[in-house]
Amino acid sequence: MNRRSQKVISGGIAAGLFVFAVASANAQAGARTGAWTYGAAPGEWVMPGYDYGLSRFSPLKQITTANVANLKAAWSFSTGTLRGHEGNPLVIGNVMYVHTSFPNKVYALDLSKPGAPIIWQLTPNQSPDAIPIACCDLVNRGTAYHKSGKIFIELLQGELLAIDAKTGKELWRAKHPDKSNAGVEANGYKQGATMTNAPIVIKDMVIAGISGGEFGVRGRVTAFDVNTGKQIWTKYSTGPDDEVGIVNGVGNANYASHKGKDLGVSTWQGNEWKIGGGTTWGWYTYDPELDLFYYGSGNPGSWNPDQRPGDNKWSMSIWARHPADGSVAWVYQMTPHDEWDYDGINEMTLFDKGGQKLLQHFDRNGFAYTLDRTNGKVLKAEPYGPVNWATKVDLATGIPQKDPRYGTTSKKNTEGICPAAIGFKDQQPAAYSPMTGMFYVPTNHICMDYEGVEVKYTAGQPYVGAIVRMFPGPGGYRGRFIAWDPTAGKDRAASTAWEIKEPLAAYGGALTTAGGLAFYGTMEGWLKAVDQKTGKVLWQFKTPSGIIGNPMTYTAPDGKQYVAVLSGIGGWAGIGVAAGIGAEDPTAGLGALGAFGDAAQFSTQGGVLTVFSL
């Protein structure tokens, strides 16, 4: 595949297309300084989650609960690729930047003209050999922007790419380094390492993660210089303290065992930590006041827990790091010795309430965690779905109290585990509203049977070690969209203000606005707008394909507010449709076909951006 950078509009574009305006209003209704929105105007969308806290809340309010029923499709754009379309566009000045699934095309669209014509497009040169290495579809979760005029995207084959925002020219590429295995830096995907998540820009560095937990990849994050692509630091999820970034011991405010030395080695059997997973393919957030960035690490390798006795630190953990050098401020492991593939990569949303600096995380394991983000203390951990693998999380220790009836092993098939490996929520990000103090959470409602199997590690080959069959949860439906109070209530019922049941998973992200609305998408392709307070569906539109992308909103040069969403079914839940896998084997697609084998009856492949206005 040849790289193609096509200039469609002349170089004399008005400077206003690329102006990065100073905000006159801040994200979260003035509750934070402009540093949280990178100095953006309220009508722009300059980060994957709108602001550094990943609130996905926009202060725009032209579209309200009173008039959203009049929302109409304004224009659409075909991305030119199929497979799963996760993430959302960015809007900077009068330009929208759109990304795609592999081969990770990037487009710049001119919002100042009718139909938003293409300014430039770039198809990065990548090896098709990376395609079979991707675990769960050829997705990409979005781009990042630096005020020097650069767009960054992570390429599936394991490179971070910097692009000139004005011209679409490639500026530099950097491979994700790894010193633990010879040859990885030069040929990451040949060792099983791919890149799918949205990077984050902090000051003059861009931080990127890695995928490949199902291939025995050792998880890590790397900071690169935004101007040169030079590696500033790399820190690992497993291994000795100096490689993890732990200096003189580090703890979580709940329990002292985190202060042991080299737990990233001693909690593994032998050298299993070197192929220990803990990959970092989820969402990243940053607190500019504390100068800490947050993210989660994924499952340990392999899925068969019998092969890796011990807590398997630091897989399945929430991390707070100092961006200057990557050193750890605190780390909290949610699921020690994971037996269910409950990746901890879901977003860490930052919010303030009652004078506390808080972090909210809806984990794959089915628990909703509220933490003090200054020290990692767990303040609340309640199920947001019908969890049965654990009875509770002990707030004094932070450790889940497991129910041995739902533990997994290679000695038997454990049946009826809730949630399934795909979690009661996967990567689809929730949104916070400072207007209600609640989170709006798109969820899966899926359970599973799980049996571990013996597996041997070979570089670049699958290292899974389990047979999984997923199926709808209690009640027979497969998704929910819920309003969750992160601080009130002592159980699931008290914390859930309302819920909407969905026949398929609500596998797209959420958006909240100052107009009192919450938007979310479904695997059938419906984009829905609901009242934040009541959960009443006020408007819906059927897009061309299933939605696993995240709705966003912006103001165009005509002064109108628009809402946009990518549709294109895929990801883990939609892998059957995206990859053309038949539904005959319910364990195919790492078990997803058991729950979503009929998805092709609801949606076809796609790759379309649909934009709406009043």
Six-digit token string for 608: 């379309």
CB 4 within 8 A of CB 122: yes
Rounded to whole angstroms, the Cα distance separating 237 from 422 reads 21
Residue 194, SS3 per DSSP: strand
- pLDDT score recorded for residue 3: 38
- pLDDT score recorded for residue 519: 98
Residue 303, SS3 per DSSP: coil
- pLDDT score recorded for residue 34: 81
Least confident range from 9-23, 386-400, 402-416, 503-517: namely 9-23
Mean pLDDT for the stretch of residues 273-283: 96
Tens of pLDDT, residues 317-326: 999 999 999 9
At residue 161, does pLDDT exceed 80?
Answer: yes
Q: pLDDT: is 613 or 9 the higher one?
A: 613
- Please name the amino acid found at residue 463: Y
CB 479 within 8 A of CB 521: no
Tens of pLDDT, residues 545-579: 999 999 999 999 999 999 999 999 999 999 999 99
CB 228 within 8 A of CB 172: yes
- pLDDT score recorded for residue 180: 61
- pLDDT score recorded for residue 258: 65
At residue 49, does pLDDT exceed 90?
Answer: yes
For the chain, the first-to-last Cα distance in angstroms comes to: 40
- pLDDT score recorded for residue 7: 37
Q: pLDDT: is 489 or 256 the higher one?
A: 489
Q: Which CATH class is domain 4-55+85-613?
A: mainly beta
pTM of the model: 0.94
Distance, CA of 579 to chain centre = 21
Tens of pLDDT, residues 355-364: 999 999 999 9
- pLDDT score recorded for residue 26: 37
Which one of 137, 241, 341, 343 is the catalytic residue?
Answer: 341
Closest CA relative to residue 238, chosen from 275, 213, 282: 275
Mean pLDDT for the stretch of residues 277-287: 97
- pLDDT above 90 covers a percentage of the chain that reads 87
Closest CA relative to residue 383, chosen from 282, 475, 484: 484
Six-digit token string for 1: 């595949």
At residue 367, does pLDDT exceed 60?
Answer: yes
∠ CA 99-508-473 to the nearest 5 degrees?
145
Least confident range from 81-85, 95-99, 259-263, 392-396: namely 259-263
Residue 75, SS3 per DSSP: strand
- pLDDT score recorded for residue 348: 98
At residue 6, does pLDDT exceed 70?
Answer: no
Q: Where are the beta strands (DSSP E) in 317-377?
A: 317-321, 328-333, 349-353, 356-362, 367-372
Rounded to whole angstroms, the Cα distance separating 475 from 347 reads 27
- pLDDT score recorded for residue 20: 30
Least confident range from 11-15, 160-164, 409-413: namely 11-15
At residue 4, does pLDDT exceed 90?
Answer: no
At residue 282, does pLDDT exceed 50?
Answer: yes
Tens of pLDDT, residues 172-211: 999 987 766 544 444 578 889 999 999 999 999 999 999 9
DSSP state of 506: -
Q: Is 287 a catalytic residue?
A: no
Least confident range from 45-54, 58-67, 242-251, 592-601: namely 242-251
Tens of pLDDT, residues 377-418: 999 999 999 999 999 999 999 999 999 999 999 999 999 999
How many CB atoms neighbour CB 15 within 10 A? 9
Rounded to whole angstroms, the Cα distance separating 380 from 398 reads 10
At residue 36, does pLDDT exceed 90?
Answer: yes
Tens of pLDDT, residues 120-160: 999 999 999 999 999 899 999 999 999 999 999 999 999 99
Query: Mean pLDDT, the chain, as a whole number?
Result: 92
Sequence ranges of the domains in the chain: 4-55+85-613
At residue 9, does pLDDT exceed 50?
Answer: no
Rounded to whole angstroms, the Cα distance separating 432 from 411 reads 43
Closest CA relative to residue 423, chosen from 486, 493, 506: 506
| Cα–Cα distances in angstroms (integers) from residue 124 to residues 1, 104, 581, in the given order | 8, 7, 27
- pLDDT score recorded for residue 28: 39
